[in-house]
Amino acid sequence: MHRRRLRPAIVALAVIAGLLAPGVVTAPPAAAAPSGGKKVIANLFEWNWPSVASECSSTLGPKGYGYVQVSPPQEHVRGNQWWVAYQPVSYRIESRKGTRAQFKSMVDTCHAAGVKVIVDAVINHMSGQDNGGTGWAGSTYQHHVYPGIYQSQDFHYCGRNGNNDIANYNDRYEVQNCELVNLSDLKTESDYVRSRLAAYLNDLLSLGVDGFRLDASKHMPAADIANIRSRLNRSAYIVQEVIYGAGEPITPNEYTGNGDVHEFRYGKDLARVFRSERLAYLRNFGEGWGHLPSAVSSVFVDNHDTQRDDGGVLTYRDRGIYALANAFMLAWPYGSPTVMSSYTFSSRDAGPPSDGSNKTRDTVCYSGWECEHRWPVIANMVGFRNATEGAGVSNWYDNGNNHIAFSRTGRGFITINDEGSAINGRSYYTGLPAGRYCDVIHGTFTNGTCSGPVVTVDANGWFAANVPAHDAIALHLNARLP
C-alpha cells in the first residue's frame, strides 16, 4: 500500500480491441518463487470470497493460472474506499468481502480447481483513524488500542514531523519507525507483536492459504519479517512489497532472503518502452536493466497502487497496448508474473462495487469490473507461459524499432508489432517442430481446435505471416493442432 507522456489514442487496434469483448473467454523455508509448473498469479483485487471461488472454477483453473491473490481478509475500519481493507481493526476473518466460512470455502474451491491462494497480509500497521471507532465486524478500537490484541506499548512513536508521520524516505529510521500516512505503526521488533502477527498468519495457513503478499514490507526491517516468517507453522510462498526509490537507503535487495520481492521498476519501464521508446530495447529486459534477479522478482504491468498513482504505468484504460504489454510479460522469462484484475474507477479512493452497507457486490465482469485476467489475449498467454516454463530465449529479432520476435527455445514463439503500420510479407524462424499451431493472441485452443487463425510451421521451423499494426502472433507447443 502506498499513498503519462501518453501517445495519441491508438486507432489501429481492431483485432486486439475486438478480443477484449466479454464472453470470449523450525523455520520453514521461504518459497522463493511460486512452486509447480503454473506460476502466473491473478490479482482479483477487492473481489468478495464467493466471486473468487466461482472464478477459480470457471476461469482461473481452466486457463492455467497457478495462484489467485486476494485482498486483505481481516476485520477493517468502516467506509467505502478501497484502502479501508488496509486498516486492520482485528484479525478476525470477517470483512466486507465475506465471512470466515466463505473464506474457507473459497480456499477449498480454488484448491479443487488447481489454484493456490495468496493473501494480501497487512502486518506493518493497524488503523489510521485518530478517533477510533467500530470495525466492520463490531470490534471497538482506538488509534493505538485494539482490545485483546494490542495496547499503546505495542506501537512506534517516532516523535517526528509533528504527527509521527514519515516525511523523509532518505532516513531509514523514519521510514521504519514513523507512521505511513497516519497508520498506527506496529513495533515489529517486539516479541509479543511478532508472536501476534505470526498467530494471524498461522490462522490463515490453517484455513489452507498457500502464501502471503506482505503489504508495506519496506516499512519493516527485513530481519523483523524473517523472524515472523520463522514462526510460521509450515512453508508458504512469500512476496514482499518493497518499492524501489532512487538513492534511498532501503532497497528491495535487502529482502530477498525472505522470499520474492515486488519489482516496481518493471511496470514503469515497460510502459515507457511501449509508449515512447522502442520495443527493440527489451532484448535484455529485467536484470539487464538493473532490476532484481529474476529468481526473486515478482513483476506486473500494474497493481492496485500503481494504477491509481501517477506512476506512468499502463492500465486497463490503455486497452490494446495494455493487452500487448501483458502478452510480453507472460512471454518473457523474467520474474514471477501477476496479472491485475481491476474494477472500474474514476476517483483514486473509490472502492469496489458495493451495496448500501459497503458490502462488496458479487463480481459481474465488464459491468463495473474490468476483469483483465479474462481478456483473451491475456488469458491465453497464461497457457503460453505454462508451456514455456524453464525455456530460455533464442532467435531474437528486432527491426531496431518497434517490431520484435523471439522464441522460448523449442516450446514457443511470439512476434509483436507495435509499429504504426502492418509488417507484411515476412517469414519468422520459430525453432518449433513442424505443424499447425493456434495463434493464441487471436484464438483460444480447446480440445484440439482453435477458435482463431491457425499458423503452419514448416519442416525447417519457419512460417510466413502478415502482422497488423499494434498486434502480435503467439504459438506454443500446448496449442498445436493434431
- Please report where in the chains the cell 473481489 appears, as a residue: 47
For the cut 70, the answer to whether the pLDDT of residue 15 exceeds it is no
Q: Give the rounded distance of the alpha carbon of 32 from its chain centre.
A: 16
pLDDT in tens, 102-112: 999 999 999 99
For the cut 80, the answer to whether the pLDDT of residue 10 exceeds it is no
* Mean pLDDT value across residues 88-116: 98
pLDDT at 30: 55
pLDDT at 28: 56
For the cut 60, the answer to whether the pLDDT of residue 142 exceeds it is yes
User: Do 353 and 360 form a contact (C-beta atoms < 8 A)?
Assistant: yes
Kindly provide the b/e burial profile for residues 78-112, where b requires at least 16 CB atoms within 10 angstroms of the residue's own CB: ebeebbbbbbbbbbbbbbbbbebebbbbbbebbee
Mean pLDDT of the chain: 93
For the cut 70, the answer to whether the pLDDT of residue 395 exceeds it is yes
Among 71-80, 177-186, 270-279, 310-319, the minimum mean pLDDT is found in 310-319
Kindly provide the b/e burial profile for residues 431-470, where b requires at least 16 CB atoms within 10 angstroms of the residue's own CB: bbeebebbbbbbbbbeeeebebebbebeeebebebebbbb
Q: What is the largest CA-CA distance in the chain?
A: 72
pLDDT at 309: 86
pLDDT at 11: 30
Q: How many CB atoms lie within 10 A of CB 374?
A: 24
Name, of 11-15, 28-32, 33-37, the range with top average pLDDT.
33-37
Give the integer Cα–Cα distance in Å for 309 and 388: 33
User: Do 299 and 289 form a contact (C-beta atoms < 8 A)?
Assistant: no
For the cut 80, the answer to whether the pLDDT of residue 14 exceeds it is no
For the cut 90, the answer to whether the pLDDT of residue 17 exceeds it is no
pLDDT in tens, 277-311: 999 999 999 999 999 999 999 999 999 999 998 67
Positions of CATH 3.20.20.80 in the chain: 25-387
Q: In terms of pTM, does the model score above 0.85?
A: yes
Catalytic residues: 215, 241
Band (pLDDT 50/70/90 cuts) for residue 34 is confident
Closest CA to 252 of 303, 288, 299: 299
DSSP 8-state assignment for residue 60: I
The percentage of residues in the chain with a pLDDT greater than 70, rounded to a whole number, is 92
pLDDT in tens, 334-383: 999 999 999 999 999 999 999 999 999 999 999 999 999 999 999 999 99
| Bigger pLDDT: 309 vs 435 | 435
Q: How many CB atoms lie within 10 A of CB 284?
A: 11
Amino acid at 112: A
Q: Give the CA distances from residue 421 to residues 234, 416, 457, in Å, rounded to whole numbers and listed in that order.
A: 53, 12, 24
Give the integer Cα–Cα distance in Å for 80 and 123: 22
pLDDT in tens, 306-347: 999 867 999 999 999 999 999 999 999 999 999 999 999 999
CA 281-284-288 angle, to 5 degrees, is 115
Give the integer Cα–Cα distance in Å for 34 and 352: 28
10 Å CB burial of residue 421 (0-12, 13-18, 19+) is: exposed
Q: Which CATH number fits domain 25-387: 3.20.20.80, 3.40.50.20, 3.40.50.740, 3.40.50.300?
A: 3.20.20.80
Give the integer Cα–Cα distance in Å for 10 and 449: 31
User: Do 222 and 172 form a contact (C-beta atoms < 8 A)?
Assistant: no
For the cut 70, the answer to whether the pLDDT of residue 248 exceeds it is yes
* Mean pLDDT value across residues 209-223: 98
Report residue 405: phi and psi, to 5°: -155, 150
Report the CATH superfamily, name and number, of domain 393-479: Golgi alpha-mannosidase II (2.60.40.1180)
pLDDT at 234: 97
Q: How many CB atoms lie within 10 A of CB 5?
A: 7
Positions of CATH 2.60.40.1180 in the chain: 393-479
